[in-house]
Amino acid sequence: MKLLRDILSGRARRTAPASSVSAAELLIAARTNLEGGEWGAAQLACEDLIRLQPDHAEALHLLGVIAYRMRDWATALELMGRSIELDPVNASFHNNLGGLLTYLGRPQDAAAALRRALVLDPAHLGARENLLFLLPSLDGVGGEELRAEHEEWARLHGAPFAALGRPHANAPDPERRLRVGYVSGDFREHAVSLFMEPVLENHDRHAVEVFCYCNNRVQDAVTARLRRGAAGWYDIAGWDDDAVAARIRSDAIDILVDLSGHLRDNRLLVFARKPAPVQIGYLGYLPTTGLATIDYRITDPLCDPPGMTESHYSERLLRLPGCMWCYKPMAAMPEVSPPPALEQGVATFASTNNPAKITDRMLELWARILHRVPGSRLLIAGTAEQGRSRMLSRLHHGGVQSERVEFRDRMAHPEFWALHRRIDVLLDTYPFNGGTTSCEALWLGVPVVSLAGRHMPARAGVSLLTHIGLADFVVSSEEQYVDVAAALGRDVPRLGALRAGMRQRIQASGLLDAPRYTRGLEDLYRAAWRAWCTRR
């Protein structure tokens, strides 16, 4: 990408492209190829355009987006920054910068960019959804504020479709076989599928007929396995919302279940059209959706204790009897290894969560933990170089030397799992706890210490750890978080015992009991269906 370096150094030459294509045509080609995933062709079109117009803001920005997708973070930041200097009122530029900063683990900077995008264009769908994804990670954002922000999204983007709702022709028989539809953009190798696959495998086919509406274009072996659990399967990526809603009505779906919330590749605007009489949010997204057309939210009594969190949701809560997650470890995961502290003599603490969840306050607490355990180390996985300076700065401010901190890039599953051989204690993030990362760490024998809050994103650790008998590692204050983590890091014999017995503990807990879990889920579906039939 030599031209990119020339652009950034101001050496791009005003040399016309080989053909006589106009600037407008080059811009159309760049946009079209980028949307179609043809990054190389998009890059060439942008470069030709910049040769014609070196200060073309959108061409520079699109090159920044391409650099982002090619994992050239430094170039992406510079190009996006340059484009915003040239066109500071372009909301999409600020939105894309916010997405990049989120990925790099700079949540406060990301939030500022996304809020700037929304000041410029309050109806910018991408910026609002990116902000909704980020908000649970920010200190000081509680359940009521999360609900208000989500309902503002619904007011702007979902409410206009309420008038399109039509009566449903589903037969109101409370005990008949139910037609249940699942909608997801993550029917592939993804965290959601780890928890969804055991459900699809264990649905009672006499009680439930399953349909899946798959919105991910990338499909793999996991997709193929999930497909086998469905009586009907539709690849809906590329379909417009009206077409998807019509398909769901044609399939006479009784209960439509959203698995994506406001995550990428969601189809919430299909749910806004109310194509099924009962609509439920489940699994993939922890806060409310904000949509009045989604009737219920699946949770459990520890994630959402009765009387504590109801005001955080636009949906009514349906609580499973046990943990709200049913975990299916990947078959390729390695066996549990001894705690590294046995060999090293000191503990290694770690975070494997999305770096956007690592707040400045978390880093301050981690520094205090390291002070309490002399010689201990901190490993932070999944970070890009351009996001590390903030973390090191906060740790240095807490008196932690750089040599006690190790960063690792994002990595493929085998390398990621192997990394747990070097981890003694996983430090959960707050106010947005880990989910999949905690399950994987526990299955690999690594204990997790979690700080609990009073809204659902801050209570995932409560449910997971309590259900496997490790409630002692769930704390309710920052002081307890430091105390419990430090005490565990100093107790090498306990680390060894925990690690050796962790899988047996999980297997005995019910966290892997997919048949029982799925019966509980079906009971909630039945209760919601009976309520609809009664109202008819």
How high is the pLDDT of residue 12?
45
More confidently predicted of 39 and 432: 432
Write phi, then psi, for 233 (nearest 5 degrees).
-135, 130
Q: Is the pLDDT of residue 4 over 90?
A: no
What domains sit in the chain, N to C, each tagged with a CATH number? 2-139 (1.25.40.10), 176-328+515-535 (3.40.50.11380), 341-509 (3.40.50.2000)
Q: How far apart are CA 255 and CA 269, in angstroms?
A: 16
CA dist 95 and 375 (Å) reads: 42
Give pLDDT, residue 162.
81
Model confidence pLDDT, tens digit, residues 225-257 = 999 999 999 999 999 999 999 999 999 999 999
Query: Which two structure tokens, joined as six digits, stand for 150?
Result: 């989500």
Among candidate residues 260, 278, 285, the one with its CA nearest the CA of residue 183: 260
What percent of the chain stands above pLDDT 70? 96
pLDDT at 11 over 50: no
Q: For the chain, give the mean pLDDT.
A: 95
Phi, psi for 216 (deg, rounded to 5): -95, 130
What are the angstrom distances between the C-alpha of 17 and each of 33, 49, 53?
Answer: 18, 8, 11
In which order are the strands placed within the sheet that holds 316-319? 232-235, 208-214, 178-184, 255-258, 278-281, 296-299, 316-319
The answer on pLDDT for 29 being more than 50 is yes
The mean pLDDT of 126-149, rounded to a whole number, is 97
Each residue's pLDDT tens digit, 287-330 = 999 999 999 999 999 999 999 999 999 999 999 999 999 999 99
- Looking at residue 535, its pLDDT comes to 94
CB 380 within 8 A of CB 405: yes
Contact between 60 and 7 (Cβ < 8 Å): yes
- Residue 20's pLDDT band (boundaries 50, 70, 90)? confident
At 15, the pLDDT band (50, 70, 90 cuts) reads very low
DSSP state, 324?
Answer: S
CB-based contacts of 68: which residues, under 8 Å, 6+ apart? 76, 80, 96, 99, 100, 103
Predicted confidence band of residue 5 (pLDDT cuts 50, 70, 90): low
Nearest Cα neighbor of 392 from 431, 360, 432 is 360
CB atoms within 10 A of CB 61: 24
> Does pLDDT of 469 surpass 90?
yes
pLDDT digits (tens, 9 = 90+) for 342-367: 999 999 999 999 999 999 999 999 99
Q: CA end-to-end span of the chain, whole Å? A: 63
CB atoms within 10 A of CB 115: 14
